[in-house]
Structures are given as C-alpha cells and as structure tokens.
Amino acid sequence: MKTHYKLILSLVLGSLAGLFLHPYNQNEFIQNINSYLLEPLGQIFLRSIFMIVVPMIMSGLIVGVYQLTSHHGLAQVAKKTLLFTLLASSISVLVGLVMVNGFRPGDGVTLSPLDAEDLNKVQAVQKNVAASKPMAQALVEIIPKNPFEAATKAFDGEILALMFFSLIFGVALFRQKEKNQEVLWIPLFEECYRACMKIVEWVMGLAPYAVFALVFQSTFKFGHPILLSLGWYVLVVIMALLFQQFVVYSALLKWLAKRSPLAFFKACREVYLYAFATSSSNATLPRSLEIAEHKLKLSPEISRFVLTIGSTANQNGTALFEGITVLFLAQVYGIDLELSQQIKVILMSILAGVGTAGVPGGSLPLIMILTQQMGIPVEGMGLIMGVDRFLDMCRTTLNVSGDLVIAALVDDKATTG
C-alpha cells in the first residue's frame, strides 16, 4: 500500500477508535494503553523528527544560502520571499476576517466552565505571555548573542535567531570563496544535511502508527460534544483555510507561477498529510524539501532557502486562524471591535504568523497576547484549547502548503525573471 493511503487509513482508524472509546475514557485499562503505549509512540515519533530539526535547519540554510549567493543572487530571492510572504499572509488574514464577520460564529455560543486541565494549560500559556518581550526587543534578539544557545533554545522561541546566524554564516562562507580560498565546510554541511534526511527516512517508517496514536488521543479525550459545541467556529476556520488553499493559492499558482494548481496540489498530497498529522511545520520540513525538489522540480537552492525560512516565518494558516479566533472570542463575550481595532488585529495576526514557532500549539502564546491587547477575557482560551489540536492540524497544513506555493512563486520569478 502506498504511504499516503496508509496515513489516511491511520487517520481514519485513529479518529474512529478515539471516538468509539471516548465514553470509556475514565476506564483504567484504556487509559493505561493510552498513557503507556499510544502517547509514548506519538511522542517518540515527534521527538525523533525534532531531534534533527536544528542540524537540518543549520546545514540546510548554510548550504542553501551559499549556493544561492553563488548562483542566483541571494538578495533578489530574499526580497521576493519577503514580498510573497507578506502578500499571502495579508490575504489569508483578510479572508479569515471577512468570514468571521460574515458568519459570526460567536453569537450563538455560550462559554462552558473550564475543566482543571484546560485551566492549567491556560495558566501555562499566560506565563509565556508574561515572559514575552516588547516588539523592539524581539527584533533586536533575532541576532543571537550565542548561536549555540539559540540552537539549544530553538523550540523556545529562538529559532529565528538560529536561522539568522545560519544565513549570515552562509554568506560569510561565500565571501571566502570569492577570495579564492577553498571552502572546506560546505561539503561537510552537505553531508550533515543528507544524514539528517536519512534519519527522517528511518523515522517515517513509524509514521502510520504514530499518526494513529496522535489522532486517537484528540478524539479519545474530547469526543464529539466539544467539537459539536464549537462546530460552527471550527467550520468557519476550515472554510477560510479551504478558501485560501483552493481559491487564493490556485490563483497565485496559475497567474504568477504559471503552474497547474491541480497538479501542484496533487504532488503535495503527502506533505499535507504529514503536516496534518504532526501539527508541525518544522517536523514536516524534511518532507516538503523532498517533494519540492523531486516532485515539484523546484530549484534545490531556492526551495531549501524558502521552505526552511517559511517553516517558521510564513504561517498563513496560523495568521488566518488567529484573526478568526480573536474576533470569535470578541463575539462570544459580546465585545464589538471597531474597524481600527480590527485593523490592529490584522496587522498583529500577520506579524504573529511570522513569529510563530512551527511546532504544535506554537501560536497559542501569540493568540493570548492578541486577545489581551483587545481586552478580551483570557479565560476564553479554555474554549479554544478544547479544539485547538484539531485546528492546529488544519492550519499547519495551510502553513506548509503556503511555504510550497511561495517557493514555487519565488522559483519561477528567480529563474525566469
């Protein structure tokens, strides 16, 4: 059976098993199977991928930038990446806001009290928000004082700093070459990158089982009532994500990249599944790189650069989700946001999309900041937490899809423009 069929089967079986066993989620035996078998299995899979993300990001970016500087001119590619990232993010937030204002899912929902676990999660996120830095400081800290420290804290918000260092390092290595000095490090980083990809290939053997385990946990825990009570809100998010994927991206691919959207989406099927199952742009990065190179036939230098940066800095799905969520919560609490406040939500959502780590739940601290800024009671997060895992799966799929679309746009322009 082909890998993506296996993954779909695991998704379906995992969610059905979770739903079926949800009524027995207090049963000790089933809880033990979940805690001692399925949960560790999902975690082993995710951690094995995360294990190679730092060396892969560093080597991928250093080699990518080095090659780009040699072949295409980095400045041009970087400029186009930035431009398309801002364009795609802005459109996605606007799509979200139009839908949430049109359908007003929050008008018919009443908040149910938080259970203890949700409350704990809310408090944990609140702590992160309290520790968050002002914008100017966050910008300055993109330059790491110590790249090794940035590497160790890559999943605690330092990943942009690590990327910044890798970019500069790649350019500096290129300058050595310009002076006709031999650059011994490049083959070394290339080997490192290939070794990372090999590890990913091994870990992927575990994917069908891990997907079952990960999906089972969400449905086993929350069952269908939580999804039903928030169904409308979830539906609006999904409709907006689908609109962005099939209307906006199709238009961008067709008109700007001159590619068939259908063929493009078909080639990316497997990546979408991985993104959906892992809820992590970073964990999906190895797969995206492979598909971009082998199936979409994008230039490896460009796709490495755009996809690696994009896995953290281009989160269209997250930006769209954040806009909808803030307005939904405002509706739930009966808070009317004026146009100027909605514009603020748009701008902050775009920035939040850029600054979100590509890990499961990476956007939650930023949503917290956004809701606080708008004067919305932070307890509303409990409502979101209940369905976040599922929506995370959906928005991550758009995040990753957006990265691939931008890589295609930049590739087209960089090679033919």
- Which positions lie near ligand ASP, rule CB under 6 A? 279-281, 315, 318, 356, 358-363, 392, 395-396, 399
**Residues in contact with 357: Cβ distance below 8 Å, sequence separation at least 6, in sequence order:** 155, 157, 159, 282, 312
**In whole angstroms, what is the distance from residue 318 CA to residue 405 CA?**
16
* Closer residue to ligand ASP, CB minimum distance, 174 or 276: 276
The structure tokens listed for 180 are: 């006709």
Q: How many residues does the chain have?
A: 417
Please name which of 216, 202, 195 lies closest in space to residue 41, comparing C-alpha atoms: 216
* Closer residue to ligand ASP, CB minimum distance, 158 or 392: 392
For the CB of residue 396, give the shortest distance to ligand ASP in the complex, in Å: 4
**In whole angstroms, what is the distance from residue 210 CA to residue 190 CA?**
29
Task: Specify the residue for token string 């890998």.
Answer: 3
The structure tokens listed for 36 are: 């001692």
Element housing 108 (H / E): none
Core vs surface per residue 23-56: b (16+ CB within 10 A) or e: eeeeeeeeeeebeeebeebbeebbebbbebbbbb
For the CB of residue 159, give the shortest distance to ligand ASP in the complex, in Å: 11
* Closer residue to ligand ASP, CB minimum distance, 67 or 81: 81
Q: Is residue 403 a contact partner of residue 311, using CB atoms and an 8 Å limit?
A: yes
For the CB of residue 110, give the shortest distance to ligand ASP in the complex, in Å: 26
For the CB of residue 389, give the shortest distance to ligand ASP in the complex, in Å: 10
* Closer residue to ligand ASP, CB minimum distance, 332 or 357: 357
The structure tokens listed for 72 are: 């295409």
Please name which of 283, 227, 262 lies closest in space to residue 397, comparing C-alpha atoms: 283
* Closer residue to ligand ASP, CB minimum distance, 34 or 363: 363
* Closer residue to ligand ASP, CB minimum distance, 192 or 400: 400
| Single-letter residue type at 40 | P
For the CB of residue 361, give the shortest distance to ligand ASP in the complex, in Å: 5
**In whole angstroms, what is the distance from residue 109 CA to residue 124 CA?**
25
For the CB of residue 56, give the shortest distance to ligand ASP in the complex, in Å: 15
**In whole angstroms, what is the distance from residue 40 CA to residue 32 CA?**
11
* Closer residue to ligand ASP, CB minimum distance, 283 or 302: 283
**In whole angstroms, what is the distance from residue 301 CA to residue 361 CA?**
30
Please name which of 230, 261, 232 lies closest in space to residue 244, comparing C-alpha atoms: 261
Q: What is the DSSP letter of 296?
A: S
For the CB of residue 368, give the shortest distance to ligand ASP in the complex, in Å: 12
For the CB of residue 364, give the shortest distance to ligand ASP in the complex, in Å: 7
For the CB of residue 197, give the shortest distance to ligand ASP in the complex, in Å: 20
CA 314 to chain centre: 8
* Closer residue to ligand ASP, CB minimum distance, 400 or 414: 400
**In whole angstroms, what is the distance from residue 285 CA to residue 280 CA?**
9
* Closer residue to ligand ASP, CB minimum distance, 218 or 318: 318
For the CB of residue 318, give the shortest distance to ligand ASP in the complex, in Å: 4
**Residues in contact with 281: Cβ distance below 8 Å, sequence separation at least 6, in sequence order:** 275, 310, 311, 312, 315, 358, 396, 399, 400, 403
* Closer residue to ligand ASP, CB minimum distance, 96 or 360: 360
